[in-house]
Structure formats: structure tokens, C-alpha cells
Amino acid sequence: MSQDTATAAAVNIDQDAGDFRFPEDYAYDAGTGLSEKTVEYISGVKNEEKWILDFRKKALKIFEGKPLPTHWASKDLENIIFNDIRYYLAKGQQPTRSWDEVPDDVKETFERLGIPEKERKFLAGVEAQFDSEAAYSNVKVELEKEGVIFVNSTEGLREHPEIFRKWFGKVIPTGDNKYSALNSAVFSGGSFIYVPPGVKVKHPLQAYFRINAENFGQFERTLIIVDEGAEVTYMEGCTAPKFETATLHSAVVELVAMPHAKIQYITVQNWSANVFNLVTKRAVAYENAEVRWIDCNIGSRLTMKYPGVVMKGRKARGEVISIALANDGQHQDTGAKMVHAADETTSNVISKSISVGTGRSTYRGMVHIPKHLKGCRNNTECDALLINSNSRTDTYPAITVKGNQHVTQHEASVSQVSEEQIFYMKQRGLNEAEAMSLSVNGFVNDLVREFPMEYSVELKRLIDLEMENSVG
């Protein structure tokens, strides 16, 4: 079916769609809709071992059996028509280690997004995924010599099953939620990283996820294992062109921080306004390990994402720093999950959300400290900024602390950019968009300082663009 479907899809493409994108030209296409056949097709293309296919099939059953979580989450989830989505699109070639060998349209896409330039400037490794599969994957030779593995997950499963299989699906079980089950059934792409004991990767590793095709679902699966005393910073960026119809992005990201390890996971996503972004991210941190999620959510139609840390070892630390910007018609439903499962564990959640126009921000936080533990600490701060009176913001903190040997602190604030502030800024010569942009950047300023410089610049640019669009 592959060749014919690919051709048909290429003919039907809507060339008038906004932004930039390239005509579809795929060697492998799982077609529209989801069934056991789809799963078999994906597994077959990847030439997977039987246990993986079985894993996928079981996940599909779980997905089919689970209701939509609309009893607590947005009803908008009902608008995802799973049978209208294409679950696998690939050009059928292995990711290359040289940009020169990447197909022209894909290469141009990533060049326009500035990826090769960033790689030259400050990255230790890059993986670039185009729809379902990685097109480019490279890690600096020095790191490779130290035993650092940075490949796409398809290759990780094939080449490093002994590490992969041990942790795969362990941090986030298939049945964790409906969308993690969906991902487990049809996953493709994503990063697999292993950092050996004691290796401290100085420069960030970066993955870039790009959706090019309409009605497409991107289901990358990332697994990062950082061994004892090792350190890594991983960054992911995501974009898609503006489509007429809904696109689904549903990733699963599992992190494992062994004793004394440190992981910093940074996301800057800028999905177009038709993307449903339903992502499950969780880490497990062993003794004295530290995991930080730095999460910037800009764009998308609906984002649901609550990065979590399960602190399993004594003195483990978990942190979520998140910035969400909900523009007109968008809903950012984000937060954090902190599960304290050992003594003297510490968690910190700082969330800042901005709602513009009819944009809506929701914070959901779960902090769990059981009774039998001692000396756990949690700090949660969530601040919301409203720009104009239609905006909506909700906070649902769920902090369960049992026992009396813990310290928790929760602060929340809502503020508004007033007409008078905008007037003041305009009187100095800034137009409406510039004034709003400045206020928003000011609001998130203290968090942005946590970012590597290159990313804080990018985030500022994205905020400027969003504000320009919101003024129209």
C-alpha cells in the first residue's frame, strides 16, 4: 500500500496552507486510522523484534479500553478523531550523520529553523526528527569515545536492547493514561540517551521534532538514562506549520537518574494552533540525584502536560519550572507531579502562565508525600498573568502531605497587565504588541534566567511573535 498511498497523499496536499512546508513524499505511510494492522505495519517497517510488537499490541488494547479523561480534563479532547489521523510517515532512510546527506526539503526545513547553525555553535549532539523518523543524528566524537549514546529510539531499541529494554516503559507504564497507551502502541522516533557513570556532558544534547504532514500524529518516545554521578542537559524543540485540520502530538518521555546523577530536560515548543499536544513526561531519581524539567509551552490548540519526578532515593531532588503562554483560542493545561518516595527528598515547582485574549491557562499540580517518610520538602509557586479581561486561568493544586515531619509551601498569584501600564509603555513609543511582549517577558524574566542563553533569546523571540499575532 505504501507507494500508492504516498502518491495519493502528495496529490491531495493543500498547497495554500500557511507557513512553510514541503509537499509530502513518503516511502512509508501507515495510512489513515488506527487498528492492529497499523501497529503491525509500523513494527514491520522497523523490522522489530517480536517482544516489541507484542508490547505495541497490548498497548493498543489498553488504549482502546480506556475512556477519554474528560471527567477532569477539557472536553476538547473529544474533537480528536483517531480514525482520521495518519500514524506513521517516513521517507524510508536511515538518519545520517551529515547534513549533506539529508534530503533537500528536510534539510531546508531544519536550516530555516536554525538547527545546523546551533549545532555548530553550542551543542554536543543533535537529533532532528521529521514526522515519524529521525533524518539526522549526530553526537560529538569525544562524547562517543566516553561511551555516551545519543541515537533515535528506533536505533536505540535495535542496537542497545540490553539497556533500553531494562527501562523502557518502567517509568511510565503503558496504562498510565490513554495517551501514553496510544504512544506505546504506535511510537516512532524520539531520543535514546545513555550517559555512562561519572561522565559529565558539558554542552547540551538537542533533539528537534518537526511535523510536516497534515492529519498526522507524531508519537516520539524518549528514554534517557544517566548513570551514577553522570550529568546531561537535553533540549527539545518542536514546531509544525499551520494546518487546516487538527494534528496530534503525543510523546512519552522517560528519564532515569541513577544515584548522584543530574538531568536537566529543557523543552521549548512552539506548536501551531491546531496541534493537540498530549505528552507524558516522568523521571525517576535515585539517591541524591537531581532532575529538572524546564518546560516552555507556546502555541498548540490544547496542551496537557504534567512533567513528574518520582524521588526514589534518599535526598533526591525534583524540579519543574514551567512557562505556558495561552493565546487566543488556546488552552495550556500544564503542571507538575512530584512523588516523594524516600526520606529527605526535595521538590520545587515554579509555574508561570500567561493568558491572552480568549486563551486559557490551567495549572494542575500533584505533590505526594506519604506518612512513613521523614524530612521531605516541597515548594510550589504558581503565578498567572492575564492580558485582557476575556482570559481565564485556573489553579488546581493537589498537595497530599501525610505525617508531620515535612515542610511544604504553596504560593499562588494572579496579576493583570493593566490598561494604565500599557498606556505608560505606549507613551514611550512602544506599540501594543511591543508593550505586551515586554510585560510578558518581564513576568517570566526570573525563570528565563535559568535557561542557557541561546534558549532564552529564542524564547523571547517566540513571545514577541505571539504578541504580534495576538494584536493582529
Nearer to another protein, 239 or 391 (CB): 391
SS3 category, 372: coil
**Shortest approach of another protein to residue 462 CB, angstroms?**
17
**Shortest approach of another protein to residue 80 CB, angstroms?**
36
**Shortest approach of another protein to residue 422 CB, angstroms?**
9
* DSSP, residue by residue, 374-423: -S-EEEEEEEEEEESTT-EEEEEEEEEE-SSS-EEEEEEEEEE--HHHHH
**76 membership: H or E segment, kind and range:** none
Contact indicator for 299, 330 with CB cutoff of 8 Å: yes
d(CA 292, CA 264): 5
* DSSP, residue by residue, 285-340: E-TT-EEEEEEEEEE-SEEEE--EEEE-STT-EEEEEEEEEE-TT-EEEEEEEEEE
Matching residue, cell 503562554: 325
Q: Which residue type, as a one-letter code, is found at position 88?
A: Y
CB atoms within 10 A of CB 57: 15
**Shortest approach of another protein to residue 340 CB, angstroms?**
31
Nearer to another protein, 346 or 470 (CB): 470
Nearer to another protein, 224 or 425 (CB): 425
Nearer to another protein, 289 or 444 (CB): 444
Q: b vs e for 77-86, b when ≥16 Cβ sit within 10 Å of the residue's Cβ? A: beebeeeebb
**Shortest approach of another protein to residue 437 CB, angstroms?**
9
Nearer to another protein, 374 or 426 (CB): 426
* DSSP, residue by residue, 145-190: HTT-EEEEHHHHHHH-HHHHHHHTTTSS-GGGSHHHHHHHHH----
**Shortest approach of another protein to residue 430 CB, angstroms?**
5
Beta-bridge partners for 200: 231
Nearer to another protein, 377 or 460 (CB): 460
**Shortest approach of another protein to residue 413 CB, angstroms?**
11
Nearer to another protein, 203 or 460 (CB): 460
Nearer to another protein, 104 or 419 (CB): 419
**Shortest approach of another protein to residue 442 CB, angstroms?**
3
Nearer to another protein, 339 or 444 (CB): 444
Residues that bind another protein (CB under 8 A): 415, 418-421, 423-432, 434, 438-439, 441-446
Contact indicator for 353, 385 with CB cutoff of 8 Å: yes
**Shortest approach of another protein to residue 391 CB, angstroms?**
17
Nearer to another protein, 198 or 442 (CB): 442
Alpha-carbon torsion angle 324, 327, 331, 337, nearest 10: 0
CA atoms in the 13 A half-sphere facing the CB of 146:
19
**209 membership: H or E segment, kind and range:** strand 205-210
**Shortest approach of another protein to residue 222 CB, angstroms?**
32
